[in-house]
Amino acid sequence: MKSTAEVVKVKEAYAWIDNQSSIALQATTRDGKPLKLTPDEVRLLATRLIKLADVLESIVEQERERTEGEGESEGEAAEPTPAASAASEADPES
């Protein structure tokens, strides 16, 4: 089952993270007819979709970091991030 952070619902519009790579959206009534939303419902859906996109972005980034970390454990050297470089320059004992 999806975590609640990965599912959005407004009226009968549902959105969820699919295969940790995209957002699926279903917006039809139970009868299969197009869903009608008020302006406020559309704004709410849009806000929740933006949050869902942020969650997806975080999942993708974590997966990227995990796979890069696996490469490092196999002997590949990773290049330091700009933040890590700046931190080591700020601390002369590094």
pLDDT at 1: 41
pLDDT at 72: 67
**Residue from 44, 63, 20 nearest 6 by CA:** 20
How many other C-beta atoms are found inside a 10 Å radius of the C-beta of residue 16? 16
Q: In terms of pTM, does the model score above 0.85?
A: no
Q: Which stretches of the chain drop beneath a pLDDT of 70?
A: 1-5, 72-94
CA distance 83 to 78: 14
Q: Where are the alpha helices (DSSP H) in the chain?
A: 39-73, 82-90
